[in-house]
Chains A and B, each alone.
Chain A
C-alpha cells in the first residue's frame, strides 16, 4: 500500500459524458501527478500540481482539467468523453514535486467509455 488513494476504482460511462476522478496523496506529500495508461500509448504524464498550483503540463487534452484543493487532494475532470479516453488513470504523489523526489502511485481508476 503506497498511501495514495484513488476513487472510484472503476467507472463506466457513455460518450459525451463528464466524470471526475479523485486522488488523495500520501500524508505529508505536497505534489500530485496524474498519468494516463492506455493500451496504445503506454503510461503518459498528464499534469502536476504542487501545493494547489499547477506546476507542469504534459499530454493533457483540452477536454481534461485538474485541480488540487487546500487539503491537497486532487481531482481530474474529463469531459465530452470519447471512446479513446478509455484507460487507466493513475495519481502519484511526492513530497516536494521535484525531480529528486520519489513518486508513489495510487491503485488507479479504470475508465471505460461506451
Chain B
C-alpha cells in the first residue's frame, strides 16, 4: 500500500471550510484514497473515498489531483464537533488485498470558536 503524508496538526475557525491535505506520491492506478476520522478515542468514522474523480457526500468533499499524487479533504462548514484526528489512507484494490486498513499518524484538526 502506498504511503501517505499528512501535516500533524491544523486549526480552522468555526464556520469556515477546513481543507486537509494528503500527499500520496507513490499511489498506483488501482489504489483508492480513503478518509476516516477519530473523535477523541471513539471508533474511527468513515468519511469518504475516491479513485480519481472528485467525490462529495453529506459529510465532505474529496478533491484528487489529476496525477493522483495528492488529495484534499474539504469540510465545507467546520463545527466544533469536527475536531478530530483525520486519517488519509491509500488502499490497494487488487485481488490479493484483504481490506485491512493501514493507519498513519493523521492530522489533528482543531476547530476553534
Chain A positions within 8 Å of B, measured between CB atoms, are 2, 4, 31, 33, 35, 42-45, 48, 55-56, 58, 88, 90, 92, 94, 97-108, 110
Cβ contact of B41, chosen from A97, A104, A108, cutoff 8 A: A108
Instruction: Tell me the complex Cα distance, A42–B97, Å.
Output: 22
Binary contact track B8-26/A, C-beta < 8 Å → 1, others 0: 0000000000000000000
Binary contact track B72-99/A, C-beta < 8 Å → 1, others 0: 0000000000000001000111100111
Chain B positions within 8 Å of A, measured between CB atoms, are 32, 38, 41-46, 49, 87, 91-94, 97-105
Question: B46 to A102, Cβ gap below 8 A?
Answer: yes
Q: A71 to chain B: closest CB distance in Å?
A: 21
CB neighbours of B49 from chain A (8 A): 102
Main secondary structure of the interface of A (DSSP, over half): strand
4 tightest A-B CB contacts, nearest first: A105-B43, A56-B98, A43-B103, A99-B97
Instruction: Tell me the complex Cα distance, A98–B42, Å.
Output: 24
Instruction: Tell me the complex Cα distance, A33–B36, Å.
Output: 16
Instruction: Tell me the complex Cα distance, A31–B43, Å.
Output: 17
Instruction: Tell me the complex Cα distance, A107–B92, Å.
Output: 26
Instruction: Tell me the complex Cα distance, A31–B104, Å.
Output: 23
